[in-house]
Chains A and B, each alone.
Chain A
Amino acid sequence: MHSPLLWLLPVLPLLGFLVNGILSLSTARTSHGPSRGLSGFVAVLFPALSFGLSLWLFQRLSHDAASIHETNVNLGLHLSEVVRYVQPLWSWFSVGDANVGFGFAYDALTGIMLLFITGIGTLIHLYSLGYMAHDRGHARFLAYLSLFLANMIVLVLGDGPLVTFLGWEGVGLCSYLLIGFWHEDLANGAAARKAFLVNRVGDLGFLLGLFFLWQILGPTVPFTYQGISEWFRDPAHLAMVGQGSVAALLTASTLLLFLGCTGKSAQIPLLTWLPDAMAGPTPVSALIHAATMVTSGVFLLGRMSDVFVAAPFTMHVIAVIGAATALWAAVTGFVQTDIKKVLAYSTVSQLGYMFLAVGVGAFDAGLFHVFTHAFFKAVLFLGAGSVIHALGGEQDMRRMGGLARKLPLTFAAMFAGWYAITGLPGGAGFWSKDLILEKTWMHGGWALYVVAIFTAVLTAVYMTRLMILVFWSPSRVDPEVEHHVHESPWSMALPLVILGLGSLGAGFAWASLVPGVDWFARTLAPVVGPAQDLLAGPEAHHPPVALLLALGLMAAFGGIVLSFVLFRSGSYRETESGELPFLSRFWTLLFDHLHAVVAVWPVLVVSWILDKVLNPLLFGLVRLVGYLVEVFGWLFRALQFSRLRLNMGLSASGALLVLLGYILVKELLK
C-alpha cells in the first residue's frame, strides 16, 4: 500500500536539527547562547510530532492487518500476509546493473522499532533539557540529538539496504559528534574517533556483504527488502542457494553483513568502542548507546531474516558470538568501578543475548529483547545520569553509597530497571530473557544454554553490586559534595517515571507464560515468521517450561544473593580508589590489545616505513634525475621567476588572446 506520509517521520526531527543548529550557530558569539526555552521547545516538539505520527501509523497498520487477517480467515486461508506501506521517492542512482531507489517502507517490524525510537527519543530530549541546562552548548547538543533521531528513523524506515546504510552511517556520525561533545578534553575526542573508526570497519563489511548479496540476486531483482525477501522465500531459490558456489557466496555475504552488525551493536570482535563511548553526556548513552543505535544490528538481522536463515553456518556463528559476547561482557561488568562503564558492559552483554536469540533462529525473541531492553537500560542510564547530576559529575561508585534516601525518585526508577534486568518475576527482562533461554534450550544446544544461564547469574550479580554500591551501602560520598545532593528537576524526573513503569510493564507485550498475551509475536509474525518456521520446522516437542522457568528464577535469585554475600558483608575493596587490578584491566582491554596487534600497529609501521623510507628514496631519485637534467640548464634558468617573467607570460597569453579573438571574429562574420 502506498502511504504519502512516511517521509515526514525523519524530516520532522531533521527540522528540529536545522532550527536548533541555526540557533546555535547564530548565537555562537553571545556569551549565553540561544534562549533555553525556545531551543528546548523546538527540541521536544519535533520528535514528539514524529512519535505521534508513528502511533497513528501503527494503529492504522494494526487495523489493516486485522482486517486482512479476517478476510483470509473467511476465505479459509492460513496466510500471514505482510501489510506494508511504501513510499518510493526517487531513483537514487541507476547505472549499469546498479539500480537503487530512494524510498521508505513501513511494516510491523519498522512500526515497533519506530514506536520506541521516537517515544524514548522524545523522553530523552525532554530529559536533556534538565541535564544539559547549565551547559553552554545545549542548543548544539539538542541539534545533534535530533539529527541522530532523524538518521535512526531513516535506518529502520529505509525500503532497501542502501537507504538503511545511509541512516546507519548517519547515526554513526551523530554518535561521533555526541561522544566527543565535550571536545575540549582530547580524551573524549579520541573515544569519539575510535567509535567512528571501529564502526567503519564494520560498515565496510556491510557494503561488501551487500555486493555479494547483489551478485546472488542478479540485476533483475529490485534491491529492496521486499524484493530480497520475496526472492529468498521462493522455494526454488532456496534450494539454489543451499548448495555449491552460491551457498559459499551467501555465507560470505551474511558473514560480512554480520560483521557490520558487530560494529554497530558492539559484539566480538568490534566491541571496544562502546565502553569508551561513555565519554559522551549520559542522555546520549541512554538513547544511542543503549536503547536504539546499538540495537540496529539486531534489527538488520530481523529485517533480512529470510536471507540469514538460508545460511546455517552464519547463524551458528551469530549464536556463538552472541553467547561469547554476553559472557565476556558480564564478567567485565563485574570488575568495573565507573557506574556508566558497568552499564555499558551490561549493554554489550544484553546485546549478546539478542544475537544469541537470532542465531538460534528466534528472531522475534531477539527483537523482543531489543524492545524490553530499550526501556530498562534507558531508565538505568537516565537514573545513573540523575545520580551523576546530583553528585556534581561523580561517576566512581567507590565514592557513592547511601543515596536511596537522598534520591528517592531516582532510586525507585533504577530499582525498576534493576528488577527488570535481573529477571525477577514480572519485570520486562523476565519475559524476554526467559524466552531467549527457552529458545536456546530448544534450538541452540546445551552448551549455549549453560553459557546463557551462567551469564544470567552474572548479570544479577553485577547489577545488584551496582545497586548496593550506589544506594544501599553506607555513604562514601565526599561530605562537601553530599551537602549539595539534590533530586533532579521535573524534566528529568518525568522520563524516569515513564521509563521505570515501562521496564516493569513492557514485558507484557509478550508474556509467553500467559496464554493469549503475545501481541508482540503476533505483530511480528508476518515479517520474521517464514524465516523462523523454515529453521525450526514444526514444533515436535514442547520445552520443559516449568524446569526452564525454575532455572531462570534460580539464576536471578542466586545472583542477587551471591552479590549481597560478596559485597554487603565485610570490607569494601571498592573503597580503595585508583586503577583496576592488573588482571581486571587486562580482561577489560582484551579486545583493545587484540585490535592493536592485528590492525593498529601494522598500519602505523607500514605508514612509517612509507613516509620515512620510500618517500625520501623517491626524492633522492628525483634529485639524481635533476642533476642529469642540469644539461638542459636553460630550462631551469628560464624559471628564475620575477615580475618581469610574469609580465612576459601575460604578454604571451595576450598574444594568444588576440589570435583567438581573430578567429572568433572570423567565424562570427562568416
Chain B
Amino acid sequence: MNLHLAVIAPLIAALLAMFSSGKDASQALRNALLLALAILGISAPLLSGGIQSTEPLTWFVLPAVGTRLRWFLATDGLSSWLVVLSALLVPAALVLGRRMAGDRMREFASLVFLMQAFMAGAVLAADLFLFYGFFEAMLLPATLLIALFGGRDRRKAATLFVVFSLVGSVPLFVSIWWLATLAPYHVASLTQSAVQLEGTLGFTELQALLAQVSPAARGWIFASFALAFLVKLPVAGLHVWQAEAYAEGPAASSALLTGVMAKVGLYGFLRILIPLFPMEAARYSGAFMVLGVVTVLVGAFLALQQTEIRRVLAFSSLSHLGLGIAALFTFRAEAQAGVVLLIVAHGLSAATLFLLAGVAESWMDSTHVDDFGALSRQSPVFAVLFALAALASVGLPGTAGFVAEFLMLLALFKGASIWLVALAGSAVILSVAYTLRLVQKLLFGKAALAEPAQPRDLHLSEGLVLAPLLLLLVVLGFYPAPVLSAARSDLLQRLPLAQAVSEDASHAAGR
C-alpha cells in the first residue's frame, strides 16, 4: 500500500497543486509544502520496511505478442533511499524555487511533484516496461521546468536535453520491445513452473530469459541499456547537455536533476544492467572503469575553467558521479556500498549547492562568479550553509561523501589498479581547487557589485528546509550504517554473480 502511495501521492499532489485555488503565490507555496511534507511522511516508512513488493497487476496484454504489461512495484534499501532522497529534496526545491517561479508557483509545484512521481516510479518499478515508462516520463516535467522557468538560453538547453535523452532511450525502447516479443516463447520453454511467469518482463524472469538469447544479440541489448543510463548520468562525451540544462534551467530543477535523476542512471547500472548482463558487464568492466575515471578527470578539469556558478557545479557533478561508474565495475562489495552512499551524499550536497546558487543568483541578478563576493558578511546564514555543503561535496571526513569516496577508491584499489586510483584521487584534489575557488568568490573578498542597503539573507523557511539535509550529511558521515546496510542486504544477492564471472575471466586471462 505504501509502495503504491509513494508513486501515486506525488501524482495527486501534482493535480492538487495545479488546481488549488488562489492566485497568491505564497498561498500556493504553503499548500505545496504541506503536500510535499505529507509525501515525505508517506515515503519515510519505506526505509524501515526492508524488501517489499506489491501484487503484480496486469494492465494489458500486448496483442499478437502475448507479453503482459504490469503495474508491479518492489523496493529494497536502495530504492527506498532514492525515494526518500527525492522526498527530502522536493520541499527544499519548492521553498527555494519560490524565488524563480514568481507568481507561477502552482505550475512550478505541479511539475516538481510530477517529476517526483516519475522518479519514484522508475526506482520502484519491478517490471521492465513499467520502468521504461517512468524513465521516459521523467523527461517531460524536467524539460518543461527548464523550458518554462529557465534562464536566457532555456530553449536551447531544453532541446539539447531532450535530444540527448532520446538518443539514449530510443535504442533502449527498441531493445525492450524486442525482448518483449521473445518473452512468452522463451520463458514458457524454460521450465514447467514458469507458467505463472509467462509473458512478463519482471527482473527475475528477465535474467532467465537473457540467458537464452544469443551472445551477439545480448551484447547489443547490453549496449543499448548502457547508453541510456550513461546519458542520464552522464559520462564524458555524452555530457554536452548537462552543463546547459543545469545552468539554464531553474536552480530547483537542476537540484532535482543532479540530486535524483542522475542517480537513476547509477541505479540503472546497479539494479538493472549489471544483474541482467553479468557476463557483458564483466567483459567490458575495464572499459567502463576507464570511462569512469576519464569522466572524473574531464569533469574536474572543465570545472576549473568555468566562470558561471552552476556550470562549475554541473561539471563537479559530472566528476563525482564518474567515480561511481568506475567503482561499480569492480563488482566489489565496497564499491556497491560506496556507490549507494554516494547516491545519497551527492544527492544531498549537490542539490543544496544548486539551490543556494539559485538564491545567490537571484540576489545579484547574475550567474558570473566574478560578480559575487563578501556574501559571508552580508548573508551569514547563507554562507554557513553554502560552505558546509561545499565541504560535504569535496568529501571532507565527517561528512557522508568521505566514506563514499573512501569505499569507492578502496574498491578501485583492490579491483582495478593503483594507477586508476591515483588518477581518480588526483581529481579529488582538483575538486578542492574548483570548489574552494567558488566558495572564495561567493563568500569572501569584497562585494563586486554595489551592496544592497538592507542586508539580505535566507528566509527562515529556506534555512529550515536546507539545514536537515546538511545535518543528515554529517550524521551519515559518522554513522553511515543505515545507508550502507541498504547496499549490503539487497544488492549483494545479485551482484556476486557478476563478480564470479569477472573472476573467472581474470583467471582465464591469467592462465
Per-residue CB proximity of A154-188 to B under 8 Å, as 1/0? 00000000100110111001001000100110100
Residue of B110, B332, B445 near A650 (CB, 8 A) is: B110
Q: Which of B44-52, B140-148, B225-233, B342-350 contacts A (4 or more CB under 8 A)?
A: B140-148
User: Is B171 an interface residue, CB under 8 A from the partner?
Assistant: no
Interface string of A626-651 (1 = CB under 8 A from B): 10010000011001010001100110
Q: A165-B397, A186-B445, A641-B148 are in contact. Are A666 and B57 (CB under 8 A)?
A: yes
Give the distance in Å from the alpha carbon of A664 to the alpha carbon of B3 in the complex. Answer: 11
Number of A-B contacts (CB under 8 A): 190
The minimal Cβ–Cβ distance linking A296 to chain B, given in whole angstroms, is: 14
Task: Give the CA-CA distance A169 to B428 in the complex, in Å.
Answer: 13
Check B304 for interface membership: any CB of A closer than 8 A: yes
**How long is the Cα–Cα vector from A654 to B140 in the complex, in angstroms?**
14
User: Is A79 interfacial (CB-CB < 8 Å)?
Assistant: no
B352 at the interface (CB under 8 A from A): no
- CB pair B11–A170 under 8 Å, yes or no, is no
Within 8 A of B (CB), among A545-580: none
Whether A653 and B159, one on each chain, are in contact in the complex, defined by CB atoms closer than 8 angstroms, is: no
Distance A173 CA – B391 CA, assembled complex (angstroms): 9
Cβ A166 vs Cβ B426 within 8 A: no
A169 pairs with B396, CB closer than 8 A: yes
Name which of A92-100, A317-325, A367-375, A436-444 contacts chain B.
Answer: A92-100
Q: A660 to B337, Cβ gap below 8 A?
A: no
Q: Does A656 contact B (CB under 8 A)?
A: yes
| Bound CA–CA A502/B198 (angstroms) | 84
Residues of A within 8 A of B443 (CB): 183
Whether, in the assembled complex, A239 has its beta carbon less than 8 Å from a beta carbon of chain B, the answer is no
Quick check: A189 and B398 within 8 Å, CB to CB? no
Chain B residues, Cβ within 8 Å of A183: 376, 440, 443-445
B-side contacts of A649, CB under 8 Å = 140-141, 144
Interface of A is mostly: helix
Q: How far is A639 from B54 in the complex, measured between Cα atoms in Å?
A: 36
Interface flag for B204 (CB, 8 Å): no
Q: Determine if B488 is an interface residue (Cβ-Cβ < 8 Å).
A: yes
Q: Does B132 contact A (CB under 8 A)?
A: no
Q: Does A611 contact B (CB under 8 A)?
A: yes
CB-CB contacts of B398-421 with A at 8 A, as 1s and 0s? 100011001101110110001001
Given A98-B407, A189-B444, A193-B437, also A93-B426 (CB < 8 A): no
Q: Find residues 113-159 in chain B having any chain A CB closer than 8 Å to their own CB.
A: 114, 140-141, 143-144, 147-148, 155, 158-159
Q: How far is the CA of A653 from the CA of B11 in the complex (A)?
A: 8
Bound: A659/B421 CA distance, A = 49
Consensus secondary structure, chain B interface: helix
Q: Are A95 and B396 in contact (CB under 8 A)?
A: no
Interface membership of B107, Cβ < 8 A = yes
Contact partners of A170 in chain B: CB under 8 A: 396-398
Residues 593 to 621 of chain A near chain B (Cβ within 8 Å): 603-604, 606-608, 610-612, 614-615, 618-619
| A102 interfacial by beta-carbon distance below 8 Å | yes
Question: What residue in chain A is nearest B133 (Cβ atoms)?
Answer: A656
> In chain A, what residue has the closest Cβ to B429?
A200
Smallest Cβ-Cβ distance to B480: which chain A residue: A93
Given contacts A96-B333, A169-B396, A626-B163, contact A211 B446 (CB under 8 A): no
Q: Which residues of B contact A93 (CB under 8 A)?
A: 337, 403, 407, 480-481, 484
Report chain B residues within 8 Å CB of A96: 332-334, 337, 411
Using Cβ atoms and an 8 Å threshold, which residues of chain B touch A214?
A: 410
**A668 nearest in chain B by CB position:** B1
Confirm or deny: A56 has a beta carbon within 8 angstroms of a beta carbon on chain B. no
Q: Give A471-500 interface residues, CB cut-off 8 Å to B.
A: none
- CB pair B396 A173 closer than 8 Å: yes
Contact of A610 among B8, B298, B402 (CB under 8 A): B298
A4-30 CB mask vs B (1 if < 8 Å, else 0) is 000000000000000000000100110
Q: Is A582 an interface residue (CB 8 A)?
A: no
Given contacts A607-B305, A629-B163, A666-B57, contact A180 B444 (CB under 8 A): yes
User: Nearest chain-B residue to A28 (Cβ)?
Assistant: B380
Partner of A667, one of B15, B57, B306, B334: B57
**Is the C-beta of A220 less than 8 angstroms from some C-beta in chain B?**
no
How far, in angstroms, from A663 to B121 measured CA to CA in the complex? Answer: 15
A617 to chain B, nearest CB (A): 10
CB of A535 closer than 8 Å to a CB of B: no
- Give the contacts of A86-120 with B (CB-CB under 8 A): 90-98, 102
Apart from A193-B436, A610-B305, 7 more pairs, CB < 8 Å: A93-B484, A95-B333, A95-B334, A170-B396, A603-B430, A629-B163, A639-B159
Binding site for A on B (CB under 8 A): 4, 7-8, 11-12, 14-15, 18, 54-55, 57, 59, 71, 107, 110, 114, 140-141, 143-144, 147-148, 155, 158-160, 162-164, 166-167, 237, 239-240, 298, 301-302, 304-306, 332-334, 337-338, 374, 376, 380-381, 384, 391, 396-398, 402-403, 406-407, 409-411, 413-414, 418, 421-422, 425-426, 428-430, 432-433, 436-437, 440, 443-446, 455, 478-481, 484, 487-488
Enumerate 19 A-B pairs (CB-CB under 8 Å) in ascending A order: A28-B380, A96-B332, A97-B334, A173-B391, A183-B444, A196-B432, A204-B425, A208-B413, A211-B410, A211-B413, A603-B301, A611-B301, A615-B302, A641-B144, A641-B155, A656-B11, A657-B12, A664-B8, A667-B57
Nearest 4 CB-CB pairings of A with B: A96-B333, A607-B301, A183-B444, A611-B305
